[in-house]
Structure 1
Amino acid sequence: HHHHHHHPGAFFRYMRQQCIKQELICKWIDPEQLSNPKKSCNKTFSTMHELVTHVSVEHVGGPEQSNHVCFWEECPREGKPFKAKYKLVNHIRVHTGEKPFPCPFPGCGKVFARSENLKIHKRTHTGEKPFQCEFEGCDRRFANSSDRKKHMHVHTSDKPYLCKMCDKSYTHPSSLRKHMKVHESSPQGSESSPAASSGYESSTPPGLVSPSAEPQSSSNLSP
């Protein structure tokens, strides 16, 4: 009776499967059946793999199926066909909850139903940003197209020219260029004291015009 102790791993694995016996139910409603109202398949499976195999073999069928319609119970598509079988197969994952695309990065553990979503997710690890803002003169890049779309509204607003250093934005590129001088000027707070319009006019007596007064002159361009 002690033979279990040689393989505790296998034994506990078996036990655990018994405890968490998940019930996966096939809710495909075969349109061919004669009974009314039509009943769903209702076969139960303990693993996702079995359910998915069952659905694709028994219900979706092979290449002879010319019509790619999802007959899962209460499917929101309401019988609207897909153009290709692989699209139907991808779609059925919405119902089964199958997520066959795991993130390969160690410790991440996220899984995805669609390879496209995994591809986008992987960029959070790689830092890849293939989507560039198409607005002229803007070089912001994004990991996915929806972030780029969100960003575009800053350009379509009435002040599309935005400062890269702070969050000010301007209607005209010339105003932005003027404003940028604020950031170029010396960092010791010179921009906070706007000098007179030409820089030297009234504030400094002519004798005191020294190189140290230079930075002030650029700050009068700040808007």
Structure 2
Amino acid sequence: MTASLKIDFVSDISCPWCAIGLAALEKALDNVQGDVAVQLHVQPFELNPQMPAGGQDITEHLTQKYGSTAQEQAQIRDTIRQRGAGVGFVFNPSGRGRVYNTFAAHRLLHWVGLASSERQLALKKALLVACHSHSQAMESAEVLLDAVAQVGLDVARASQILASDEFAAEVRAAEAFYTGLGIHSVPAVIINDRHLISGGQPAAVFEQALRQIAATTSPAL
């Protein structure tokens, strides 16, 4: 019998470890296919909710936020590129020049998720590629709408959303819910509203957790 699991993937577009974690989670899901049925939902989290329009130079930002040097940041980027390669995600070898506000992207993801978790996941992956593979400005309506078009979604409707504050309250409520649970770093993978896996873990770690949790879960009907 196949066990059914609900997975909430709490993350931010601008987080490189979220790109790694999602790719690794998908590999794990492929490995458990047939044994575990999964409903995967993308949930919002903003690493830099106060980021102003125009963004900030990434070296300056990371130095201010974490106290890291440019050399330390270069070493971390190399580690991230290697981890990404291991799960099939390609990071721009030159890194990103700037960090941007991602609230508009989260509003679009919320909109898509109301209709289809599969298409929401497709948009999430397109946005991660735009950010980390192509180093695009993730506050740009043009960039966001291009991702919408790539996955076959309604560009005109998405444009309406971006031109308004539609779904702003819903996204903020979801963000408050997850921070209220004590989540202050991402990615955070929540399984069946009970089990938390933190960080961009290897696929094997996700697979082991999925199988263990599935073993104690009632089979899907």
Q: Could you say which TM-score interval applies, normalised by the shorter chain? A: under 0.3
TM, length-normalised to structure 2: 0.17
More helix by share: 2
More strand by share: 2
Structure number with greater Rg is: 1
